Structure 1
Amino acid sequence: MSYFMYDVMGGTVDEPDSATMRRVLDGLAQADDEHPDVSLTHESGWCLSAFDDALLVWENPDEDSVTPGTMRDIAHEEVFRLFGLLAAGDIASVEALSWQR
């Protein structure tokens, strides 16, 4: 499986291990108006974007027919868990959550 992350400054991290993934997520503490999120994108096109205000966005920008979903007040550890699922290609488990569309 191939996946990559964008850190809060827009830098790309290819196939980060769990320690690197946690470091990128921890970088949300430095988020600002210009750089508000970090994201993980799977080779399938599915993407999770996490924002410092505990907003999580689930989308597939390659699929116009798929409406992005959001969740609010998501704990940092849950975001880390979901990023791990997506990195492993477990799209069904992420999609099965209660996304607001």
Structure 2
Amino acid sequence: MTYFMYDVHGNAVDEPDAAARRTLIVDGLADPEAVNPEVSLTHESGWSLTAYAGGLLLWENVEEEGTAAPETRDGVSVDEVVRVFDLLAEGEVEKVGGTF
């Protein structure tokens, strides 16, 4: 499985481990000087999660046309963001989709 993340400064990070993902999410979303107020993880399947400061979470397939429309959840805790990002990094697409 391959995946990559974008941090709040727009930098791509290839396949960060669980500790690095947590740091990118927790520290990034709390950074008041962030260039972009979001972090994202895109899996090789095309499925992507984007978490915004304030608790908005976006789930979408960025590669396949005709897939379901993007879905959102609001008021998501940072711990829940870390949990679903970990699931997607592990390729658990159906489990992530089931949370929306």
Normalising by structure 2, what TM-score? Answer: 0.91
Question: Mapping of 1:13-24 within 5 angstroms?
Answer: 13-24=13-24
**1:16 and 1:33, CA in 2 relative to 1: closer, same or farther beyond 3 A?**
closer
Q: Is the contact made by 1:24 and 1:38 (CA closer than 8 Å) also made in structure 2? A: yes
Distance 1:40 1:55 in 2: 14
Amino acid at match of 1:72: D
5+ residue gaps, structure 2, are none
Distance 2:9 2:63 in 1: 23
**Equivalenced residues, count:** 98
Identity rate, percent: 48
Normalising by structure 1, what TM-score? Answer: 0.90
Q: Which runs of 4+ in 1 moved over 4 A?
A: 31-34
- Structure 2 partner of 1:35: 36
- Structure 1 partner of 2:4: 4
* RMSD, aligned α-carbons: 1.5
- Structure 2 partner of 1:81: 83
Q: Is the contact made by 1:31 and 1:37 (CA closer than 8 Å) also made in structure 2? A: no
For residue 30 of structure 1, give the secondary structure of its aligned residue in structure 2.
coil
Distance 1:32 1:61 in 2: 27
For residue 8 of structure 1, give the secondary structure of its aligned residue in structure 2.
coil
5+ residue gaps, structure 1, are none
